[in-house]
Structure 1
């Protein structure tokens, strides 16, 4: 009965979220029009309702309503901004196709775009504080025992203690290590061995049990589960994956069957890939329009300072290991690499004086926005390498080829963190994989923003 009640409470709150998420864009638009004394008409009503409906669809897509109880406030805010950005882009596209944009006040639209996500985040903050106060006062919480005081057990306990609004109160650890019994972790005692947890469950001292034992303890887990069947506690199993390279794995559901997705990326979804492609087309078109005068000046500079073509084409390896020709402004004399290339020799490359300048400022990379527009690259993604180096690195660096699960980029998470040029390739791959595992439009925009301040001029750029 208790498990049903908890599930029902969570379901009710999710539906409450959805209902509120539809209303907030409508009421915020009404408030803005009243504040600026704008005449309210049916087009505003349609836009408000459409904005609310599009937001809950976008929120469902980015995962706002899924596993929300264990999510940090900052992560929730990022998801809200991502969903609102998708909503905003969709509304702009609809207004453009309907040729009806002239009937809306630009001030009203801009203020509405800023106020609505602030209200959506503020409402969730208030609700979280309200639930947290209720549960911190000892009401509506579950008494939890954790089976296994290892890293997984300690992590889950810390999560529950740091987020009292979740409604879980950890009352005890149980572990077979005699050195741990009698100890306390974060004021939580280790009461005894794993075999003693059944007695605590039968006595009604706990409501839920989280099993956090290593996978090798299969027989022990089976025995404990058998013992716990003689009680009414809720039992949950968290597998210890620290012994495997599964720290970035995700749980997915395949027709009701739980599956661990070990090597994957959000961009494996066709919808996510389409959104990123739309992002690339829109942003690269805008950027190319803005930088076209600069590119024209740079082209003249390359031509006047060194004989030969303006552009330099390099064969690089991109998405799915496919080759493409990457464009750069030529910074070296013609045929300087005819005797071969060597990775990690950027400092020793023979550049023209003008070429040295455009390499140090990363201006030689600007033609790659044409690669983005064409579809060979993305604005944000792992930097591509030449085919000869890829064959070498894939044998030397674990998981190296997984950086090709997405399109190569002009800038990336590794680059804005300083891993570029002649720096550690292992660290660069580590940061690339973090980006691939955690991709979102919000992360792309963050990287693009930081590139303006950290990505162009860098001590490792040559």
Structure 2
């Protein structure tokens, strides 16, 4: 889930809580429950004149807010789209004055943008305040300037050269600070005038949820247009803020009101139930923000009113994160096939000598989003029949596994042909290990979180496997590690898993 544009301080003046939203007739708030709504098209646009009702939903609270024109115009905007270009321009301004230090200026620009991104200075915020960002902004600018100045001093003995470059760095840093102040002020103006806003549903119906709803309606500078609350069916909401539906109906409501943000306040259901709802495809595309449950929880300075909130990380691999992961997979698999071609040839010859002509083993597995594909491995044994191949769980001590096959399985060399699956897009280098359809159906019925691991592409290796969970180990533990990997993915996490996989191969720690 990508970040939405950031948000900010309270307005000096605000409309009354019971005032009709800007651009909506006051009479719209008095319509009867069960009123008719424009039906959303497949692409998210509403069909002109077409009407559809949603049985079982109290849509009274949605009517004044649903179908925001500003929301539809700005749903593609992200927080970095204004700040990052301004930062880059400010950092490159010294090039317009002189080309003497152009290499150092380019390095300074690239390093600063990288430091800003790592420090979260391009992430979405609900509370926008330039002064809140100033300490982090200044610290990273000083660090980048010091690094580049030290490199320049080591490369050039002339004090005059270093002094001139330092002056350019100071100029660029000052322009970045000014540019950030201007962009933040423009963001606040755009939100207060409702040029930029995103439809939001509050999950919960307790006091915190009601207060969040009131704040969002009263203060537009948070960039969110409140469209209603949802909660568990057995928990009635206060009469001032009736529920527009239950958690089970959240997917329909997200599509109906073109919701882009979900605020988790105080839902009346256990956390596993809530997570199962949020992982559904229709809800997974929304940004998630949550109110910490414990008093005193730090929220990195972000809040709505006086209510602290935290941004919940992307629970799916999509968008730029997926593109980055796919690009790294292609590069890694291509290089690995090239460099390991002698090893693959030796494995093929050994498999041929041990078991005959059928050196490759093909089997149906379940991949991303439940799609089936045929996995490729070096054959290490000969199953009795196809049914046994699909339904036999462990063959670690099977007598039909020969010495060559046992060695290849212990060193995981039999998995190397899956590099071709990675190039084809069936798999990733790192991800949940693919399983057979029979066991996917069985484990999904027994363990509620097992099916969630198919949000991401399956992998040649995985976090669960390098954590000792391979062979005959608890499925619930594997699913927990797999889902943790998906929700905390980064290139560095992939690198760590690969390094631990190499260590397992040299220890012959396979099954």
1:388 is matched with which residue? 438
For normalisation by structure 1, the TM-score amounts to 0.50
1:136-187, Cα deviation, whole Å (9 max, x unpaired): xxxxxxxxxxxxxxxxxxxxxxxxxxxxxxxxxxxxxxxxxxxxxxxxxxxx
Q: Greater shift after overlay, 284-293 or 423-432?
A: 284-293
1:243 is matched with which residue? 270
Correspondence list, 1:18-33, <5 A = none
In structure 1, C-alpha distance between the alignment counterparts of 2:388 and 2:382, rounded to whole Å: 13
Give the CA deviation at 1:410.
0.5
* SS of the residue 2:271 aligns to: coil
* Gap regions ≥5 residues in structure 1: 6-13, 27-40, 70-75, 85-107, 109-213, 230-236
1:333-390, Cα deviation, whole Å (9 max, x unpaired): 3655554543432324321211011011111011111111121111000000011211
Q: Residue 460 of structure 2 is aligned with which of 410, 413, 418?
A: 410
In structure 2, C-alpha distance between the alignment counterparts of 1:343 and 1:46, rounded to whole Å: 64
* Gap regions ≥5 residues in structure 2: 1-7, 11-82, 126-135, 145-154, 156-202, 219-262, 279-286, 291-303
Correspondence list, 1:55-74, <5 A = 55=111, 64-65=120-121
Q: Are the counterparts in 2 of residues 311 and 329 from structure 1 also a CA contact under 8 Å?
A: yes
The alignment's C-alpha RMSD in Å is 4.8
Instruction: Give the length in aligned residue pairs.
Output: 282
Give the CA deviation at 1:403.
1.0
1:119-138, Cα deviation, whole Å (9 max, x unpaired): xxxxxxxxxxxxxxxxxxxx
2:31 is matched with which residue? none
In structure 1, C-alpha distance between the alignment counterparts of 2:205 and 2:463, rounded to whole Å: 36
1:401 is matched with which residue? 451
For normalisation by structure 2, the TM-score amounts to 0.46
In structure 2, C-alpha distance between the alignment counterparts of 1:369 and 1:384, rounded to whole Å: 14
1:343–1:439 Cα change, 3 Å: farther
Q: Residue 338 of structure 2 is aligned with which of 283, 289, 295?
A: 289
Q: Residue 311 of structure 1 is aligned with which of 345, 349, 360?
A: 360
Q: Are the counterparts in 1 of residues 390 and 436 from structure 2 also a CA contact under 8 Å?
A: no
In structure 1, C-alpha distance between the alignment counterparts of 2:102 and 2:316, rounded to whole Å: 32
1:420 is matched with which residue? 470
| Structure in which a larger fraction of residues adopt helix | 1
1:312–1:428 Cα change, 3 Å: same
Are residue 218 (structure 1) and residue 207 (structure 2) matched? Answer: yes
Correspondence list, 1:129-168, <5 A = none
Q: Residue 448 of structure 1 is aligned with which of 494, 498, 501?
A: 498
1:217–1:274 Cα change, 3 Å: closer
Are residue 267 (structure 1) and residue 317 (structure 2) matched? Answer: yes
Q: Are the counterparts in 1 of residues 453 and 479 from structure 2 also a CA contact under 8 Å?
A: yes
Are residue 356 (structure 1) and residue 406 (structure 2) matched? Answer: yes
In structure 1, C-alpha distance between the alignment counterparts of 2:469 and 2:438, rounded to whole Å: 21
1:22–1:392 Cα change, 3 Å: farther
In structure 1, C-alpha distance between the alignment counterparts of 2:316 and 2:108, rounded to whole Å: 25
* SS of the residue 1:439 aligns to: coil
In structure 1, C-alpha distance between the alignment counterparts of 2:315 and 2:397, rounded to whole Å: 37
Q: Which has the higher contact order (CA 8 A, sep 6+)?
A: 2
Q: Are the counterparts in 2 of residues 380 and 411 from structure 1 also a CA contact under 8 Å?
A: yes
Q: Are the counterparts in 1 of residues 463 and 481 from structure 2 also a CA contact under 8 Å?
A: yes
* SS of the residue 2:471 aligns to: coil
